[in-house]
């Protein structure tokens, strides 16, 4: 496993990844528009039980944020198999 991924997992273990700010955003919203490592971090948060479809106070989900920022890698995680 990549050293960065291990460090991130340890960091997530030590903090409340379900914390919500005043706008109703969770960490997964921040990761959805991050430049580097966004897909692997997003997957880690999903594995921990965060819901990418849950809306914040502005009625935006983390998937909406990923779409707005053109994060194709994240969006591909949710594509339906045909």
pLDDT by residue (tens digit) across 33-81?
Answer: 888 778 988 999 999 999 999 999 999 999 999 999 999 999 999 986 5
pLDDT of residue 17: 93
Look at residue 33 and tell me if it is in a domain. yes
Residue 82 domain-assigned? no
Q: What is the pTM of this model?
A: 0.84
Q: What pLDDT is attached to residue 8?
A: 81
Question: Considering its fold, how many domains does the chain have in total?
Answer: 1
In a domain? residue 58: yes
How many C-beta neighbours within 10 Å does residue 36 have?
7
Residue among 40, 51, 32 nearest 8 (CA): 40
Between CA 19 and CA 25 the distance in angstroms is 8
- How far apart are the C-alpha atoms of 5 and 72, rounded to whole Å? 20
In a domain, 20, yes or no: yes
Q: What is the CATH number of the domain that holds 28?
A: 1.25.40.20
Looking at residue 23, what is its pLDDT? Answer: 95
Number of alpha helices (DSSP H) and beta strands (DSSP E) in the chain: 5, 0
pLDDT at residue 81, as a whole number:
56
Structural domain of residue 34, as residue ranges? 3-76
Residue 38 lies in a domain: yes
Average pLDDT over residues 3-14: 84
The Cα–Cα gap between 44 and 51 comes to 12
């Amino acid at each position: 496993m990549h050293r960065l991924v291990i460090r991130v997992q340890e960091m997530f273990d030590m903090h409340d990844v379900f914390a919500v700010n005043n706008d109703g955003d969770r960490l997964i919203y921040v990761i959805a528009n991050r430049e580097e490592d966004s897909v692997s971090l997003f997957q880690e948060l999903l594995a921990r039980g965060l819901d990418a479809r849950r809306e914040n106070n502005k009625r935006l989900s983390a998937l909406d944020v990923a779409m707005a920022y053109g994060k194709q890698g994240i969006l591909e995680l949710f594509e339906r198999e045909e």
